[in-house]
């Protein structure tokens, strides 16, 4: 399978279990890996035959700026579900890290969803 990567997107949002996390925006580092057959787009060399990076980035942005979630697992699921609305996509991996939570270490989650 071929993969399209969008790595290290930084977005701010109000998500978390603790009330202070939902009141003040915190930074999230997000990476996306999309399983997609790129052979048609490689032949045609046109955007319509591939997964548009900007559209994917816009999905991530709208989820992070949207409904407040307690868990980053829920955020990752929301992102994956919207990306998989494109029926050409066979799988998606979503990695979300909370970069400013601890002084030592970075908590995060990785989910993989396939058709």
24: its two tokens: 């003040």
Q: Distance between alpha carbon 36 and the CA centroid of its chain, in Å?
A: 16
pLDDT (0 to 100) of residue 20: 87
How many residues appear in the chain? 115
Give me the domains of the chain, ranges plus CATH numbers: 3-114 (3.30.1130.10)
Which are the catalytic amino acids?
Answer: 98
| pLDDT tens, residue by residue, 59-74 | 999 999 999 999 999 9
What is the value of pTM for the model shown? 0.95
């Amino acid at each position: 399978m071929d993969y399209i990567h969008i790595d290290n997107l930084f977005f701010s949002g109000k998500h978390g279990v603790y009330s202070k996390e939902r009141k003040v925006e915190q930074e999230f580092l997000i990476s996306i890996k999309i399983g997609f057959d790129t052979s048609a787009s490689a032949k045609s060399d046109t955007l319509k035959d591939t997964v548009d990076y900007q559209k994917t980035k816009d999905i991530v942005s709208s989820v992070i700026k949207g409904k407040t979630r307690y868990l980053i697992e829920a955020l990752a699921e929301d992102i994956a579900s919207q990306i998989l609305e494109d029926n050409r996509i066979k799988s998606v991996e979503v990695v979300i890290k909370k970069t400013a939570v601890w002084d030592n270490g970075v908590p995060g989650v990785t989910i993989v969803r396939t058709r």
